[in-house]
Amino acid sequence: MENTTGIRITKRDYEFAIVAGLLIGFLILPVLKTVSPEIFAKFAIAIVPFFLLATPLGLRIAFMIGKKIAIIYQIAKFGLIGLLNTLVDFGVLALVTLLFSAYFQIQSKDALIAGITFYSLFKAISFIVANISSYFWNKYWTFDQGSKKQTKSEFIQFFAVSVVGFLINVFVASFVFKVVLGSLINLTDGQLGLIGAAFGSIAGLAWNFIGYKLWVFKK
């Protein structure tokens, strides 16, 4: 297939993909255990090997498609790092929810309001941790700006985009969390929290890709 876009895949790309796959494999284990202990028990041993193989293979497939449409390859890398940082987000969220579960029990209307408030705080903490991870992965790999000197303006731009992404992420996650409580009351607080986090992450990732590509890491 003729490469009409000028993109290339390097050993460094494969190394980044393998490291990301390894981290994804390990980070998804506690999330999977929270969502479905039964599935976790059956497939836990295969999760890490699967992602170790799937991430470089998926990257290669995206590169082949990207020979015709360059943006596809970059979106694939962003998506991979987005998945990684989403799992960092989920993992931290699950951890703080577990540690502060006594404040997270929903037993009455007043407790519901308190539960949503605490959830928003926990979601904010997990997003901040994931956002720090996102900056370095996207700067040094997705948008290949590692050789670009870090400047004050770049940090300000990144912060501005991330704050908007943060507000979108937390708002969507908290809204979904509040809505699903009425129809999925049989789920645990941790499971409900992860559902809300998933919707928030999707909305936040879409905004972040546009902001990072067109403003923060624009070449």
Which burial class, exposed, middle or buried, applies to 141 when counting CB atoms under 10 A from its CB (0-12, 13-18, 19+)? buried
How many distinct helices (H) and strands (E) make up the chain? 6, 0
pTM assigned to the model: 0.72
pLDDT per residue as tens digits for the range 43-70 = 989 999 999 999 999 999 999 998 888 7
Smallest Cα–Cα separation from 79: which of 60, 53, 57, 55? 55
Residues 6+ apart with CB under 8 A from 175: 196
CB 197 within 8 A of CB 96: no
pLDDT band at 163 (very low <50, low <70, confident <90, very high): confident
